[in-house]
Homo-oligomer: A and B are copies of this chain.
Amino acid sequence: MAFSPLVDELVESLRCLPGVGQKTAQRMAFHLLERARSGGTRLSDALSNAMEGVRRCESCQNFSDTEVCGICENPARSNGTLCVVESPSDLLAIEQAGDYKGSYFVLMGHLSPIDGVGPEEIGIERLLRRVRSDAVTELILATNPTVEGEATAHYISDRLDGSEILITRLAHGIPVGGELGYVDGFTLTHAFRGRKPLLD
């Protein structure tokens, strides 16, 4: 762009956002400059505060403003049940469902040797230490039902082989409100195998 180095730099910087290319970055920059300068200033402050202030919780590895996050510090959350998720957005989805009252451990990824992500990078040792120190009785492996997520779940379960802990995995089946005709074959097979008596 010839007319303004400040606008150029803004467009270029916006491209670090995921899914934002040149055209979208331009549209965002012009929108902020034309119609949302106060929003732009607020975003600038929020970004600088978050980039400086947000760290990992010492206990569960989730993003946190403090050394230990709000969920880990909450005495009402049972430490006996620990749910392992891949990312903060997975944790958020479970929290928004509102039913689970145990604590979490956020891997911030999954095992993926091809990308150089091994057990060390996703904090498996820290997870195992926590499982022992918190006297966890049930470990829910809520990694995603993808190849990498399944491999990560199996790796963790192998590492805990021989312990007394109950290790569980989330149920597969038909989504609530889903229509049978649109459900894929693997999910249907899981749903059939996991069928339950009506009066359970």
Interface residues of A (CB under 8 A from B): 1-7, 9-10, 12-14, 16-19, 24, 26-34, 36-37, 39-54, 57, 62-65, 69-71, 87-89, 91-92, 95, 108
Q: Looking at A16, A62, A95, which has the most chain B CB atoms within 10 Å of its CB?
A: A16
Instruction: Give the Cβ gap from A58 to chain B, nearest Cβ, in Å.
Output: 13
Instruction: Give the Cβ gap from A151 to chain B, nearest Cβ, in Å.
Output: 20
| A49-B5 Cα distance, complex, nearest whole Å | 11
Q: Which residues of B contact A89 (CB under 8 A)?
A: 26-27, 30
Q: Which residues of B contact A42 (CB under 8 A)?
A: 13, 16
A50-B33 contact in complex given A18-B28, A26-B89, A42-B16, C-beta closer than 8 Å? yes
Q: Looking at A3, A32, A43, which has the most chain B CB atoms within 10 Å of its CB?
A: A3
A32 near B47 with CB under 8 A, answer yes
Query: Out of B7, B18, B40, B108, which one reaches A31, CB within 8 Å?
Result: B18
Query: Out of B2, B6, B28, which one reaches A17, CB within 8 Å?
Result: B28
